[in-house]
Amino acid sequence: MDEAKRKKIREAMELVLKAFDSNPEKVALAVFRGNSKPSDSWSFFNRLIMLMNDTTDARGFRQWQQVGRRVKKGAKAFYILAPVRKKVPVKVKKVEVVDDVIMEIEEVILVEKLVSFKPVPVFRYEDTEGEPLPDENFHVEIPCEFSRIIEELGLKVETEAFRNFYGCYSPLSKTIRLASPELIVFLHELCHAVDDQLHGIQGGQIPLQEVVAEFSAAVIATLLGYRVPLGNVKEYIEQYGFFNLFKAFARVERVVGFVVEKTSIEKDNNR
């Protein structure tokens, strides 16, 4: 392997180590996958490299051409690491019985092993131009028991292609935008909307607001009998600090109470 390739591999590894030290939110986001993008098949390591290059969609030169986009003139690639595997001979022993005699036989078989990595250039979505990407096809199943809250708060619920978020709520337009079919994402944004109705919220990733929304969503899901990935909920809250959660218990209680009361009424009306 030439020195240029070795340098690119070292740079990629150093970038990942830096992420664990200074960008825990990107480490957490790298665990999740988007919706039918080439990077969904990448390793966690490579998805983290992508996020550290400030994009959620990166592809090779020809991959962008296949979806009607082209790399902008002067754009620089960054490098992910592709495994290089090779079949190597390995001696193994096996036991055979021949004419009632137990014999130990040694033979050589070929086993595929990881021997190295090679740097592969990819370009960020932000460094391309051309046809808009088709929206990822997914359908969000919102249980009907939340219909009353959506109607009462005048909310619009829309789906869109994954970019930098799995869901968001706009206080100005009263719109919930979802880029994931997961129920916990909808509940998180719904709790933002309820929190906005009860207390008023600011735009942006305000730690206290995020903790209120995520913890409220997990409590509501549990109370209503929905299974959600509580491990991910814990990691999300840890990003913003458990201290914020302790400060927000009364606020969480009001948000949860509002949602549970409205869904109970909706259930009674549908009986």
Antiparallel, parallel or unpaired: β 58-59 and 101-124: antiparallel
| Full set of structural domains in the chain with CATH | 3-130 (no CATH), 144-269 (3.30.2010)
- Alpha-carbon distance of 225 to 217, in angstroms, equals 12
Q: What is the pTM (predicted TM-score) of this model?
A: 0.53
Query: Burial letters for 126-155: b for 16+ Cβ neighbours within 10 Å, e otherwise?
Result: ebbeeeebeebeeebebeebbebbbeebeb
75 pLDDT higher than 70: yes
The region of weakest confidence among 6-20, 117-131, 231-245 is 231-245
**215-232 average pLDDT score:** 84
Antiparallel, parallel or unpaired: β 167-170 and 128-130: unpaired
Q: What is the pLDDT of residues 128-146, one digit of tens each?
A: 998 877 655 567 788 999 9
Q: What is the model's pLDDT at position 35? A: 57
Residue of higher predicted confidence among 28 and 68: 68
Residue of higher predicted confidence among 213 and 237: 213
Amino acid at 123: F
Using DSSP, how many helices (H) and how many strands (E) does the chain show?
10, 8
Residue of higher predicted confidence among 228 and 50: 50
Q: What is the pLDDT of residues 52-67, one digit of tens each?
A: 898 888 999 999 998 8
Identify the residue whose tokens are 């340098």: 7
* Average of per-residue pLDDT values in the chain: 83
181 pLDDT higher than 60: yes
